[in-house]
Amino acid sequence: MNLRTVLPLSAIIAATGLAALAVSAGAAPPAPAGDQSFKQRCQMCHALTPGGASGPLAPNLRGVVGRKAGSTAFKTYSPALKGSSIVWNAAKLDAYLAAPGKTVPGTRMVIAVSDPAQRKAIIAYLATQR
């Protein structure tokens, strides 16, 4: 290789790298993975185990999408959630995760997920857990 070949090639690599950096700097961060978000935000209380064993503080969420709220064998649902007529779908889960106490006044769940992308990822992940 001679200097004429190396110099233009290095200039192209540098320019391409700077262009890629400029594009990625303005781009939105990637959406969080649902399984990671679930582990970070939900798993401390909820389980996803087959067979229905509940988490340490809250019901098992395996099969939650399409299920009536408060309908598992979990013993300490709030009367508000148990008495609700909610059937969990993406929209109801999104509203509940965004503001549990507003969606179901009297619920025992107090932790909200404020980031819409994170809620969407968690809900999509829960939908795969049948």
The pLDDT of residue 52 is above 80? no
118 C-beta neighbours (distance < 10 Å), count: 20
pLDDT digits (tens, 9 = 90+) for 15-28: 444 444 434 445 55
Angle subtended at Cα 95 by Cα 51 and Cα 40, rounded to the nearest 5 degrees: 55
Q: Is the pLDDT of residue 107 over 80?
A: yes
DSSP state at residue 46 = -
The token duo for 100 is: 């549990």
For the entire predicted model, the pTM comes to 0.74
pLDDT in tens, 75-92: 999 999 999 999 999 999
Give the per-residue pLDDT at 98.
Answer: 98
9 vs 94 pLDDT, higher one:
94
